[in-house]
Amino acid sequence: MIKNYESNLIQIKQTPTPTPTPTPTPTQVVIATPGRLNDLIEMRKADLSQIEWVVLDEADRMLDMGFEPQIRQIMNNVTHAHQTMLFSATWPKEIQQLAREFLNDPVQINVGEVNALVANKDITQNILMMSEGEKTDKLAEILKVGGSEALCVGSEDVMRCWSYGAHCT
């Protein structure tokens, strides 16, 4: 079921002291890195009391980067009944412990080998080397050719993601 969610854009300038735009009401959707979100919580600029979904994506990477205390602090601020999803490319003991603590009656879905870090043999992966200026045209070319049921395109730049998305309509 699709529902109307209350969301606010929180912009943080890259300065020594983060200067977010104020969030006047509790929001139901927040997308943020653990460190920055905790900064906002401490400044009383983010209210997680109405959050209905918590998604911990790349949980193994967040732990590798030392974000476990920040994740715990965030989860302590999510007071409303909520659904939690945890995604991880690997399943080390530390991630299993987080899952036991933050998930109620979880369903575990494994793709590929459970105890080995190998690519799924059913997925074809292509790495294309090109200059920055060639990427959008190459994506448009791939989309025109088609032949794939699903395509995943990653980018470190949010604005580029929006640009790529415009080519998919």
Do 14 and 50 have their domain in common?
A: yes
Number of domains in the chain: 2
> What is the domain extent for residue 156?
124-169
Q: How far apart are CA 91 and CA 114, in angstroms?
A: 8
What CATH number is attached to the domain comprising 5? 3.40.50.300
pLDDT bracket for residue 69 (50, 70, 90): very high
pTM equals 0.57
Do 15 and 49 have their domain in common?
A: yes
| Inter-residue contact 18 to 36 (CB < 8 Å) | yes
Which of 107, 113, 114 has the alpha carbon at shortest distance from 85?
Answer: 107
What pLDDT does 4 receive?
Answer: 53
- The full length of the chain comes to 169
How does the average pLDDT of the chain come out, rounded?
74
Do 85 and 105 have their domain in common?
A: yes
